[in-house]
Every structure is written in structure tokens, then in C-alpha cells.
Amino acid sequence: MTSANVRTGHDGRAQAALEPARTRALFVSVLGLLLATGWVANHFVGLMPVINGSARLSTAMLDAVFGIYALGLLPGLLVGGRASDAFGRRSVALAGSAAALAGTAVMLLSQHTDALLLGRLTVGVGVGLAISSCTAWASDLRGTAGAATAGAVLTAGFALGPFAGGFIAGAGPSGIRVSFGIAAAIVVLATAAVIAAARGAEPARPAGQSDLGRATPAAPSSRGFSRALSWAMPLAPWVYASATLGFVTIPTRLHTALAAPVAAGTATLIVNGVSGVVQVLARALRWGPQAGTAGAVLAALGYALAAMAPAALTPALGLPLFLILGCASGLCLREGLIDLEAAAPPHLRGALTGIFYVVTYVGFALPLVLATVGSVASMAILSVMAVLALATAVARAVRSRRDHHRQG
């Protein structure tokens, strides 16, 4: 054996040892970008009471600033998922982080109405691009575990951002700028980590596209597309309908001694924190596909209790609702994403992830609808949602017994 052969063998073993480390670093950096995305998307919730007081916005205008985010988010999710399938996860994820950073910078520089509207819209586009591409990217890297972990980490960002924003904004108008500045810095750091980790890794192509000369049969793709949607989509409406009912609607009926920004941030931390924790528990304890059934049952229970609850809630009534709705949101999100990863054709995973998240975000409209209609109509809406969520749970339980579409 020549010295060249020895060196070649040593370099090959070193390369083999380095490859898993590079993949792990890339996976962690993608999760970091998802955490930053959740933070920058949701920290505005904790700032809303202070912005409302300092900028003297009407309730309708404040709702518009909060809601315009969805106008950018939904097309961002749809375009981002499909674009990442076609052009690669990395380019779309970085485009999303850049847009989220730009929108945050606009609001950092000015809190006038026009700047807030433009900034929130731009952040929405960026968050949509980043969520769809990074979630699919995590699935490419780690399969079902990657999809589940991506959902949990994104939820953690949704929880931590408003909680930190609420405390920082408690300092007054200067706290608003500090919160925007911190959110921007977190996005910059996460983006830099992805760029650095991706530099030495393989191109972020969707799994299944490495064999460019091999055509993917249209019929199996079509069946996989429909199958993935049929499993995941029934859970999607209950994800953020449950979460926003918990951290937007319930706090308006809850009387505590906390200042408004801190109360808003704390409610968001509890609901989204529980959502993230239950996703981790579901994986650690191997709850399997029936965790989605449990999530839908908990959603139904949460809506029913919210419909029957008195107009003024005490913490003793509010906290159990936070816990129930948080668990419902987390389990429905986790199981929906895993269903997609298990059934979706790899080259369509980004598009399907985007579609799934679009349906989940329809739930963000629930607090506005409940605030617009009267108490009797609100009770009726929540009661109907409880019945529909329970029907989802029953249908999933029955189907799971005869169709083992995934393991674990």
C-alpha cells in the first residue's frame, strides 16, 4: 500500500466522519432560522398595547395592522413552498429571512401607521417564505423527526417573541424600538448561521430530485398529493384557531393584575409554550398518529368550554383553557406535518407544506370574527367549531384503524 493510498483512505474516513456533523449543523441552523421566524412574526403581539397607546391608533386600525400580516403570509406560504421545490430550500429560506428583516427594519425606524402596515405586510411575506421552505428543508434532512421538530421550534419562537416583547415594551415607547431591534438581530444571526452551515453541505434540493434523469411518474405523485392532503388537512383548521382563541380572545375576558403588554405576552407564552412542550412529549413518549385524534378532541373541548364560559373569566378558569387550547394546537400541528412528510411525494413536499400552513392560518381570523359578532353569535360559532372538531377526531380515529399510513 502506497502512502498515497493511506492518505486517500484517511481522507475518506475523515470526510465520512465530517458529513454527519455538517448535516447536524445544517439541521440546527435551519431550526434556528425557524425559531427566529416565529419570534419576528409574533413579537408584535406583545407590543400592541403599547403601540396602541403611543400611536393613538383606533381599534380598527390596530386590528388592520395586526391582520395585514396574513395578506403577505398566505401568498408567501404558497409561493415559498412551491418555489423551494423547484429552486431549492436554501434560496427561498434566505429570501424569506431577508424580507422579514426588511419589514422589521421599517417598523424599527418608524411606528407611524403607514410604516406599521408596510412593515407587517413585508414581514408576513418573509415569514411565509421561511416557514414553508425551512419546514420542508427540515423534513428533507431528518424525515418525520425533522418535520415534527420544525413545528415545535417554530412554536417556541411564537411563544418567546411576544413574551419578551411584552416585557421590553413595558419600558414605554423606547421599548418598542428595542424589541424591533432585538427581533432584527435574531434574524440576522440565524440567517448568518444558515449561510455558514449550508456552505459546506450539499445543495438544499428536495429529496428525490438528485436523480435528474429519472422522471417521477405523474400518477403516483397525484395519489401521494391527495393522500397527504386527506390526512393532514382535517387537522389544519384547529391549529391556530385554538392558539389565537387562547392568546388573543381569552385574555380580553380575563381579569389579572398584570400590565397589558405583560398580560398579552404571558398568555401567548403559556399557550404556545404548552403547544411546543406537548409536541416534544408526543415524540419522546411515541404517542403515534392517534395524537392527532387527541388534538382534535382537545380542540373541541376548548371551544365548548369557551362557548359556555362567562363573559368575565378568573385565572382559575382562564389557565385551564390556555392549557387545553395549547395542547390542541400543538398536537394538530405536529401530526399534520408528520402526515405530510409520511405521505407527500418528496418533490412536492414544499408545496404541500405551504398549503397546510395556509389552512392553519385561516384560524387567525377567529378572534376578529368573535370580536365583530355579538356574544350569542360567538357562542354559536364556537359550538359549531366544537362539533366539527369532534367530528374530525372521530373520522381520524376510524380511518386510523383501517389505514396504517405511517408508523409511530
Give the CA angle between residues 160, 165, 168 to the nearest 5°. Answer: 125
pLDDT over 70 percentage in the chain:
86
Query: Which pLDDT belongs to residue 200?
Result: 66
Query: Which pLDDT belongs to residue 216?
Result: 43
Write down how long the chain is.
408
**What's the CA gap between 255 and 181, in Å, rounded?**
31
| pTM to 2 decimal places | 0.81
Mean pLDDT of the chain: 85
Q: Which three cell numbers stand for residue 298?
A: 382537545
CB of 81 closer than 8 Å to CB of 99: no
Residues 6+ positions from 79 with CB-CB distance below 8 Å? 128, 129, 354
77, 221, 392, 128 alpha-carbon torsion, rounded to 10°: -10
pLDDT over 90 percentage in the chain:
51
Task: Place 166 in a pLDDT band, splitting at 50, 70 and 90.
Answer: confident
Domain boundaries, the chain: 20-201+218-402
Q: Which of 30-39, 173-182, 233-242 is predicted least confidently? A: 173-182
* Residue located via cell numbers 438581530: 185
Query: Which pLDDT belongs to residue 6?
Result: 38
Query: Which pLDDT belongs to residue 223?
Result: 63
Query: Which pLDDT belongs to residue 255?
Result: 79
> What are the angstrom distances between the C-alpha of 209 and each of 147, 345, 348, 349?
19, 11, 10, 12
- How much is the average pLDDT of 283-288? 87
Residue 74 has pLDDT above 50, yes or no: yes
Q: Which of 269-283, 310-324, 337-351 is predicted least confidently? A: 337-351
**What's the CA gap between 89 and 330, in Å, rounded?**
24
pLDDT digits (tens, 9 = 90+) for 309-328: 998 888 889 999 999 999 99
Fold of the CATH domain 20-201+218-402: Growth Hormone; Chain: A; (1.20.1250)
Instruction: Select from 153, 184, 185, 169 the least CA-distant residue to 45.
Output: 169
Residue 50 has pLDDT above 50, yes or no: yes
Q: Which of 1-10, 109-118, 376-385 has the highest mean pLDDT?
A: 376-385
Residues 6+ positions from 60 with CB-CB distance below 8 Å? none
Task: Place 123 in a pLDDT band, splitting at 50, 70 and 90.
Answer: very high
**What's the CA gap between 70 and 123, in Å, rounded?**
10
Q: Any idea what DSSP says for residue 86?
A: H
Task: Place 211 in a pLDDT band, splitting at 50, 70 and 90.
Answer: very low
Residue 176 has pLDDT above 70, yes or no: yes
CB of 381 closer than 8 Å to CB of 368: no
**What's the CA gap between 394 and 47, in Å, rounded?**
40
CA atoms within 13 A on the CB side of 303: 30
Residue 214 has pLDDT above 80, yes or no: no
pLDDT digits (tens, 9 = 90+) for 215-263: 344 444 556 678 888 999 999 999 999 999 998 889 888 877 777 677 7
DSSP 69-83: HHHHHHHHHHHHHHH
More confident call, 363 vs 48: 363
Query: Which pLDDT belongs to residue 205?
Result: 53
* Residue located via cell numbers 415534527: 148
